[in-house]
Amino acid sequence: MRNNTWKKAVISALTTIVGLTFTGLFFSSTVKADNYQPQDETALSSVNNVMAKNYIAPIQEFLTVKLYPHQFKNRNAVTLHFQNIPLLTFLDTSDHSALESATKLAFRLDQLSQQSIDANQINLSWNPNTKDYSLKFQEEELVRINQNIILPDSTKNVTNDALQATNRLRRLMGNAAPLTVVQNKVIITTDDDKINSFIGVKSFRKAAQGIASWYGPGFHGRRTASGERYNQHDFTAAHRSLPFGTRVQVTNLRNGRSVVVRINDRGPHVRGRILDLSAGAARAIGVKNTGVAPIVFQVVAY
């Protein structure tokens, strides 16, 4: 009898040790997404590629969705990738776990993907009582966007973040045109207010100056942060916060040559640079051969 009791105690102790070891390995392998720093000077302009470096293997995979666990500002988080594009990051709360909330949306997105829905029926509305945003399909609320469910590559503007998440889903679900306004919320009154609300630039006449780089062959054909395929020959660029579709005129200060590019990606991810040009745009203004160059750019259309 004593022998049986002793054996049970040993087995119980070993089980506890193995469980603790596994848990420790799981959490120690997680890298904090908000502390990511590139290891070299390579232009990492695709948000999908940058964020993949921060995650361990997905904890759940669905037909169209992958869920990646990580830490965000000392909180447990799960980032949902839809068609391999980061869509939303869920943070743990006292009422719901990040994984629980992310899984619920993952199941619904899989269902909608199989139904060949009209992506134009995906919309965004403002909730004045709770002061957050509802991402909807028709009248069905898919998810709330707030301080606990956020855009992975935040632009530091909550309205802009909510619109970008919605437009990303609209594009990936059926290449629907991007939304520029939120239902139930007036955010645009004048041209200056429009620019200020979305990108923090007070006027079309204002210009930004800094260092531009370029990226090309290694990313050609991959998905950009906007969801479209990257074409290194198009006149496009990556910026950290300008809304996708914004057109900016870029001038190389070394030779005075200019080109108008469309923002369709996020970057640069190297400190000290303000714009990542496509190979085609870089070639047009003489940046491709030098790698980087001082430039000035200004918004010409949104």
Residue-wise pLDDT tens digits, 231-267: 999 999 999 989 999 989 898 888 888 889 999 999 9
What pLDDT, in 10s, does the model give residues 61-89? 889 999 999 999 899 999 999 998 899 99
Tell me what pLDDT residue 4 has: 53
Label residues 75-89 b or e (16+ Cβ within 10 Å = b): ebbbbbbbbebbbbb
pLDDT at 208 over 90: no
Of the candidates 233, 229, 209, the one whose C-alpha atom is nearest the C-alpha of residue 221 is 229
Strands (E), 75-128: 75-82, 85-91, 122-127
pLDDT recorded at residue 19 = 42
298 class by beta-carbon count within 10 Å (0-12 exposed, 13-18 middle, 19+ buried): middle
Structure tokens that stand for 103 in this block = 């899984």
Q: Is 119 in contact with 137 (CB distance < 8 Å)?
A: no
CA atoms in the 13 A half-sphere facing the CB of 149:
24
> What are the angstrom distances between the C-alpha of 248 and each of 149, 274, 281, 297, 299?
30, 13, 12, 6, 4
Q: Higher pLDDT residue, 184 or 191?
A: 184
Upstream peptide bond of 268 is cis (omega within 30 degrees of 0): yes
Question: With a threshold of 0.75, does the pTM exceed it?
Answer: no
Q: Per-residue b/e over 59-68, b at no fewer than 16 CB within 10 Å?
A: eeebebbbbb
pLDDT tens-digit readout, 111-141? 999 998 999 999 999 999 999 999 999 999 9
Q: Of the candidates 279, 278, 274, 266, which has an alpha carbon nearest to the alpha carbon of residue 294?
A: 274
The domain locations on the chain are 33-174, 198-301
| 198-301: CATH class | mainly beta
For the sheet with 60-61, list strands across it.
60-61, 65-72, 75-82, 85-91, 149-150
Please state, in angstroms and rounded to a whole number, the distance separating the CA atoms of residues 298 and 208. 6
Nearest to 50 by CA among 296, 201, 240: 240
Question: Which of 200 and 272 is assigned the larger pLDDT?
Answer: 272
Residue 299 CA to chain centroid, in angstroms?
22
Q: Compute φ and ψ for 118, nearest 5 degrees.
A: -85, 110
**More confidently predicted of 178 and 1:** 178
Q: Tens digits of per-residue pLDDT, 284-302?
A: 999 998 999 999 898 887 6
98: number of Cβ within 10 Å: 24
Q: Which residue has the tokens 């992310």?
A: 102
Q: Is residue 294 within a helix (H) or strand (E), and if so which, with residue range?
A: strand 292-301
SS3 for 200-242 is CCCCCCCCEEEEEEEECHHHCCCECCCCCECCCCCCEEECCCC
